[in-house]
């Protein structure tokens, strides 16, 4: 019997994508079903040692949904919200927790939980015994700092949640979790102080460099129906407040004053989209800001079209207020697109690995405008160390790092392969 690895995402898609629906076709889901799904698919290509299952929680489900594809089992469990509209305590999936306790007793197993500070992760880690537990951390910063940087108008709605997380979540995870995988150096320092450096490994998200590569700009624009004579600023991001898209939109009037043929392409979806559309109208540039997909189109841009957008753009901007890594920046630079990103958490690591790109302060539309104008007026061919970045961010390298951790934990708990 093979050893089992359960990769469980403990955060509902619908918490930030209101229109999300579970589908049988996993790869048609937003973000390919989640990073835990993409990781499992890459691990399956690299080793046959493990039976792989991907579990997810979703508030919009009322019963479990199961499907299988390429020998990976996918299970979606109902979740329920904790707290109230005024006091947000997050969400938890009791069905997943019950099933997890049963499954780990059937065979030698490892549980890889995705997202650290959730109720499902914490309860899972303390409720299963004699089983290796690994946590993938998407958190960008310490909880206290995150609370202080939450906008004042909603900060105290989250006070109870932050207090619980600081005084319960951190302590529970510290006692039980065998290993934490983190996305950036700041988070590595934070978790090393919390649990000890020996339990923390720096491991990024990955992309397929054979897919994200440079192609002819005019061809890409023809395929997308874009004007070959215009300058295009691109951002691919979830339309949520922390992505800083307000500041990118606010940068467009001064950019267009200097370069009138410049337009903005915003590719993504999320609850903040209506707010951003109203902001574009307020600035009298709604026809120069292109929201993709449009309101009457498909709910998301297929992943296979993203390389076209990166190659069609003259510059890519990632204006995040907080960002654990910024995979879209990796994709953009892999396609040879000039990159501008805010100097927060994981984004500097992209510039470091590619040895290219421009870092600017967050929450500063003037800084965005100045950087974009400099790139567009310079017009030089973007030069990046693609091979160095590939060695770090390519899916094969990322999958190997995870497999090495899995192998070590299985050997520690069960004495090696059967």
Question: Has residue 305 been placed in a domain?
Answer: yes
Q: Which of 16, 38, 17 is nearest to 27 (CA)?
A: 38
Cα-only R_g, the chain? 22
Apex CA 228: angle with CA 223 and CA 232, to 5°? 90
Domain count of the fold of the chain: 2
**Residue 33 included in any domain:** yes
Q: Are residues 352 and 406 in the same domain?
A: no
* Cα 221 from Cα 188, distance rounded (Å): 40
Residues 68 and 176 in one domain: yes
Task: Kindly give, in sequence order, each residue whose CB lies less than 8 Å from that of residue 136, ignoring residues fewer than 6 positions away.
Answer: 35, 36, 112, 113, 114, 115, 116, 181
Cβ neighbour number for residue 105 with a 10 Å cutoff: 12
For residues 203 and 394, the answer to whether their CB atoms sit within 8 Å is no
**Does any domain span residue 401?**
yes
Distance CA 361, CA 342 (A): 5
144 located within any domain: yes
Judged by DSSP in three states, 413 sits in: helix
Assign residue 139 the CATH number of its domain.
3.40.50.2000
Q: Are 296 and 177 in a shared domain?
A: no
Residue 48: helix, strand or coil by DSSP? coil
Residues 245, 334, single domain; the answer is: yes
Beta strand pairing call for 65-69 and 72-78:
antiparallel
- Are both 59 and 171 inside the same structural domain? yes
Strands 3-9 and 109-114 turn out to be: parallel
Reported pTM? 0.90
- 212 in a domain, yes or no? no
16 plus 111 within the same structural domain: yes
**Residue 406 and residue 310 share a domain:** no
Q: Which of 26, 298, 7 is nearest to 136 (CA)?
A: 7
**What does each of the 418 residues of the chain score in pLDDT, given as a tens digit?**
789 999 999 999 877 776 777 877 777 777 788 899 999 999 999 999 999 999 999 998 999 999 999 899 999 999 998 876 666 678 999 999 999 999 999 999 999 999 988 899 999 999 998 999 999 998 655 555 555 556 665 556 556 666 766 677 878 888 899 999 999 998 898 889 888 999 999 999 999 999 999 999 999 999 999 999 999 999 999 999 999 999 999 999 999 999 999 999 999 988 899 999 999 999 999 999 999 997 655 567 888 999 999 999 999 999 999 899 999 999 999 999 999 999 999 999 999 999 999 999 999 999 999 999 999 999 877 899 999 999 999 999 999 999 999 999 999 999 855 4
Cis peptide before 307 (omega within 30 of 0): no
């Amino acid at each position: 019997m093979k050893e089992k690895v359960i990769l469980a995402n403990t955060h509902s898609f619908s918490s930030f994508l209101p229109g999300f629906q579970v589908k049988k076709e996993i790869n048609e889901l937003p973000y390919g079903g989640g990073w835990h799904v993409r990781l499992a698919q890459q691990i399956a290509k690299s080793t046959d040692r493990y039976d792989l299952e991907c579990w997810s929680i979703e508030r919009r489900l009322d019963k479990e949904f199961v499907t299988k594809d390429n020998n990976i089992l996918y299970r979606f469990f109902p979740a329920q919200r904790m707290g109230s509209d005024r006091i947000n305590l997050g969400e938890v999936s009791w069905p997943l927790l019950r099933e997890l306790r049963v499954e780990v007793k059937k065979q030698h197993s490892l549980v890889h939980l995705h997202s650290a500070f959730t109720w499902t992760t914490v309860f899972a880690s303390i409720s299963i015994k004699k089983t290796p537990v690994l946590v993938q951390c998407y958190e960008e910063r310490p909880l206290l700092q995150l609370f202080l940087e939450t906008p004042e108008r909603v900060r105290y709605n989250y006070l109870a949640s932050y207090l619980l997380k600081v005084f319960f979540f951190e302590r529970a995870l510290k006692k039980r979790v065998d290993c934490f995988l983190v996305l950036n150096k700041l988070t590595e320092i934070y978790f090393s102080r919390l649990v000890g450096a020996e339990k923390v490994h720096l491991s990024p998200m990955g992309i397929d460099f054979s897919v994200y590569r440079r192609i002819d700009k005019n061809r890409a624009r023809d395929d997308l129906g874009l004007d070959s004579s215009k300058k295009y600023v691109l951002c691919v991001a979830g339309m949520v407040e922390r992505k800083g898209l307000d500041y990118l939109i606010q940068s467009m009037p001064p950019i267009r004053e200097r370069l009138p043929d410049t337009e903005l392409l915003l590719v993504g979806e999320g609850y903040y989209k209506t707010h951003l559309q109203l902001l574009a109208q307020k600035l009298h540039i709604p026809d120069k800001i292109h929201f993709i997909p449009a309101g009457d189109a498909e709910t998301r841009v297929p992943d296979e079209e993203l390389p076209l957008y990166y190659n069609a753009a003259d510059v890519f901007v990632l204006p995040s207020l907080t960002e654990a890594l910024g995979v879209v920046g990796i994709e953009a630079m892999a396609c040879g697109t000039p990159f501008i990103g805010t100097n927060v958490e994981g984004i500097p690591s992209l510039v470091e690995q590619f040895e290219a790109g421009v870092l600017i302060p967050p929450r500063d539309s003037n800084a965005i405008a100045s950087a974009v104008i400099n790139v567009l007026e310079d017009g030089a061919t973007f030069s990046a160390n693609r091979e160095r970045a590939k060695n770090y961010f390519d899916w094969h390298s990322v999958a190997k790092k995870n497999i090495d951790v899995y192998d070590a934990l299985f050997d520690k708990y069960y004495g090696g392969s059967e």
